Amino acid sequence: MSRFWPRFGMVVGIILILIWCLLPVVWILSLSFKSEDSIINGNPGFLPSEGTFAGWDNYVGVWENDQFRRAILNSIGISLIATVLSVALATLAAYAIARLDFKGKRWVLSIALAIAMFPVVSLVGPLFDMWRAFGLYDTWPGLIIPYMSFTLPLAIWTLSAFFREIPWEMEQAAQVDGATSWQAFRKVIVPLAAPGVFTAAILTFFFAWNDFVFGISLTSTEAARPIPASLSFFVGSDPFNRPASLLAAGAVLATIPVVVIVLLFQRKIVAGLTSGAVKG
């Protein structure tokens, strides 16, 4: 009996946490399958009154919208480019910080962390004026550069912890066998730090995919506007009555790539996050 109550409390706590986390997801799924008339008339409950299959029209309507498809393409392209560039530069910088001794190394990491924690909103105004002067406003590079400015310091901080855990003797053994410093880094160090590289890439991609502030402030057309910002302009035929069901369907479709990535690579994500946290 003494073990019953702790286990019961743990089960109840887990159920409450799941309800708290999944309730918004269930609610937006419910809205995405309801018609506009059902929402306007105040249909209670989670299930649509007109049938689930009728709600698929919302997804078809969103996907057939050129604005939505262009925004998805922008998000995929911008997020992937920002991820590749950030991880590549962060890998080289983190290796230098972990392996080389130079003055101000701790300051570099401290400044990098401070930049990663800097308020995004405070940079929107200066970037708006700069990008208009440089011709980067409403372009892919105009979003990739701000994304990298925040994700690169975080990736450097994450990867430097992994490189410090790799034994220095393994790199020296590769050099003794005839490998150059670059070959030892590329064929020995990087594969061993793969969990950290993967974790940095996932964090970078998620930041770029979910960004709203830069996406809505540094774009004015659908040429480079990503999906979070584009959904805020998706007003339908009547700008005074936003299509809540279509917006919910668009939000669900925009979330699918992130959910798929997490489900496919959840083991690597967890391994990468925990490997850098314990130093043996």
Q: Where are the domains of the chain?
A: 1-60, 65-275
- What pLDDT is recorded for position 139? 93
* Matching residue, tokens 């480019």: 81
CA 267/CA 47 separation, integer angstroms? 33
Write the CATH number of the domain with boundaries 65-275: 1.10.3720.10
CB-count exposure of residue 102 (10 Å: 0-12, 13-18, 19+): exposed
Query: Which tokens hold the place of 100?
Result: 């080389």
Enclosing H/E stretch for 259: helix 244-264
| pLDDT exceeds 90 at position 81 | yes
| pLDDT exceeds 60 at position 241 | yes
Q: HSE, CB side, 13 Å, CA atoms: give it for residue 145.
A: 15
| pLDDT exceeds 60 at position 44 | no
Query: Which tokens hold the place of 74?
Result: 């922008």
- Tell me the per-residue pLDDT of 143-193, one tens digit each, with 9 for 90 and over: 999 998 888 888 888 888 788 877 777 777 887 877 777 888 888 888 888
CA 232/CA 279 separation, integer angstroms? 44
279 pLDDT tier (thresholds 50, 70, 90): very low
Higher pLDDT, 146 or 268: 146
**Overall pTM > 0.85:** no
Mean pLDDT, residues 114-124: 81
- What pLDDT is recorded for position 11? 85
Q: What are phi and psi of 98, to 5 degrees?
A: -75, -30
| pLDDT exceeds 90 at position 131 | yes
Cα distances (angstroms) measured from residue 87 to each of 92, 119, 166, 169, 179: 9, 22, 18, 25, 24
- DSSP state for residue 187 in the 8-state scheme: I
Closest to 68 (Cα-Cα) out of 258, 253, 261: 253
